[in-house]
Amino acid sequence: MKDISLLLTTGSARHIGEAIASGELTSVEATEWYLKRIQLLNTGVNGLNCVRSISRLALDEAKRADDELAAGRSRGPLHGVPYLVKDNVFTLDGSFASAGASALAEFIPPYEATLVARLREAGAVLLGKTNLTEFADFVADTMPSEFSGAGGVVRNPLGLQYGRGQGSSVGSAAAVAAGFCAFAIGSETQNSIQAPAIHTSVVGFKPTVGQVSRHGLIPLVPSQDSPGPLTCSVDDALLIFQAIAGPDINDTATLADFSEEARGNKDLQGLRIGIPRRFIADNLNTDDHKAIFNDLLASLSRAGATIVDHCDMPAAEELNAVRSCVFRSEFHESLNRLLASLKPCGMTSMRDIIEWNTSHPETIPYGQSLLEAAEAAPDIRSAQYINDRRHDVALSLHKGILAALNKGHADVLISPMTVAAKCTGKAGVPVVAIPAGLDSAGLPFGVTVYGAPGHDYAVISAAKAIENVIGKRVLAHFNVTN
């Protein structure tokens, strides 16, 4: 086998696809290489444990991709490119879909997620599934993001721990950083793509809610849930978004009109970048992070961007303090619907999950306070839920992101680390997380770029221009010979 290690561990999905298309590399070679690397680095005492299962069909899919290319048929830039998907996504390769819960550890889904079907149509090869924070981090308020009852502890390839609140797509982020796949699919409700992306020094993209179908995903908060890619570059995020986005009758949120006047053709020259400071960037808790962020903004200004500073959200203070029942109420309702319909592992309701956990306390070492709170939450038809959801949207979107964009005549907004995650999650807007090197303590630093709902291409385009100036990945290093 030719030496492909550098390309497959650090190269972009686009470049890997180009190598497969040109015949420099076959999809079978790439798939076998990734499977061997996962076997070497994922398991054991020091293993990363970011991959939960391997698809039994991976090599068959890779061979089919090679056969199609040999016959002169290409499905596009992702043809033959291997990827991993989060373990809350349904597939038909015989693997489980647990959402990290021990009670669902052996659930085999009866149908396939729309995004998986679309990636197959694009020619991508499913390698397997990644571990995640149990139930997308809504089990216990002290549980670290690295943990799930079904999957155990995920280790950050940079030698760090995924602590509390660092997002549930930790396995997908770790897999990309470790060179286990060309890209991975995660999902975000509030910070579950952007946080692990920044803390693992990879790119993450959460599309506008409704741009990518959630059909075939175990839900958390349907009004905020959005699947998206974790990648080595913003350009790769665009490639994958183009493959998985679009209307799906099985998810009516995707039937909204997301057309935008410009499909993201701006470069950094003339790009107006707004800086929400009050109760957003001001929430940074170290002077070091504040200095790094300001230095990054200065670099963008020197490169030709117009920095609109301050570009504050009128309702930022209210949003910072708001507490609503939306997470609890929607999780209770949506999970109950799925469980009642599919009866996975005999579970028919959230109450069944809670009782199962109580009978198996070793699977919930951090307790289940959030699950219990969700089970007792107001009904989604209640006045409390309706008012809370309306208030969330008013503060985060209309008096938040849209107001800031309009006030500053900004194309996009940018914030350090994940300080804007609460706002972007409730507003349902597109967000790109970009790694930007290390802080003075040697920990990953990054920024998030976000904009108006439905303006995904404009946000990605701006993020590409920003990445070209300040983007800096920190690579994981392993002493492994494949």
pTM: 0.96
Read off the pLDDT of each residue in 374-400 and give the average, rounded to a whole number.
98
Q: How far apart are CA 198 and CA 200, in angstroms?
A: 5
Q: What single string gives the DSSP state of each residue in 259-275? A: --SS-S---STT-EEE-
DSSP 119: H
Q: Maximum CA pair distance of the chain?
A: 64
Q: Is the pLDDT of residue 479 over 90?
A: no
pLDDT in tens, 326-343: 999 999 999 999 999 999
pLDDT at 61: 98
Amino acid at 167: G
Q: CATH topology of 5-255 equal to that of 272-323+385-470? A: yes
pLDDT at 1: 41
pLDDT at 267: 84
422: annotated active-site residue: no
pLDDT at 283: 93
Rounded percentage of the chain residues whose pLDDT exceeds 90: 94
pLDDT band at 265 (very low <50, low <70, confident <90, very high): low
pLDDT in tens, 338-367: 999 999 999 999 999 999 999 999 999 999
φ and ψ at residue 107, rounded to 5 degrees = -80, 120
Does residue 15 contact residue 237 with C-beta atoms inside 8 Å?
A: no
Does residue 26 contact residue 32 with C-beta atoms inside 8 Å?
A: no
290: annotated active-site residue: no
Q: Is the pLDDT of residue 401 over 70?
A: yes
CATH class of 5-255: alpha beta
223: annotated active-site residue: no
Contacts of 381 (CB under 8 A, 6+ apart): none
345: left (phi over 0), alpha (psi -120 to 50) or beta: left
Rounded percentage of the chain residues whose pLDDT exceeds 70: 97
Residue of 95, 145, 192, 396 marked catalytic: 192
pLDDT band at 260 (very low <50, low <70, confident <90, very high): low
pLDDT band at 263 (very low <50, low <70, confident <90, very high): low
pLDDT at 264: 55
Residue of 55, 86, 201, 334 marked catalytic: 86
**Mean of pLDDT over the chain:** 96
pLDDT in tens, 150-184: 999 999 999 999 999 999 999 999 999 999 999 99
Read off the pLDDT of each residue in 83-111 and give the average, rounded to a whole number.
97
Residue of 168, 187, 415, 461 marked catalytic: 168
**Residue 331 burial by Cβ neighbours in a 10 Å radius (0-12, 13-18, 19+):** buried
pLDDT in tens, 30-83: 999 999 999 999 999 899 999 999 999 999 999 999 999 999 999 999 999 999
pLDDT at 396: 98
Domain ranges of the chain: 5-255, 272-323+385-470, 326-384
Domain 272-323+385-470, architecture per CATH: Alpha-Beta Complex (3.90)
pLDDT in tens, 216-258: 999 999 999 999 999 999 999 999 999 999 999 999 999 998 7
pLDDT at 258: 77
pLDDT at 325: 98
DSSP 360: -
pLDDT in tens, 278-327: 999 999 989 999 999 999 999 999 999 999 999 999 999 999 999 999 99
pLDDT band at 482 (very low <50, low <70, confident <90, very high): very low
Least confident range of 171-180, 204-213, 259-268: 259-268
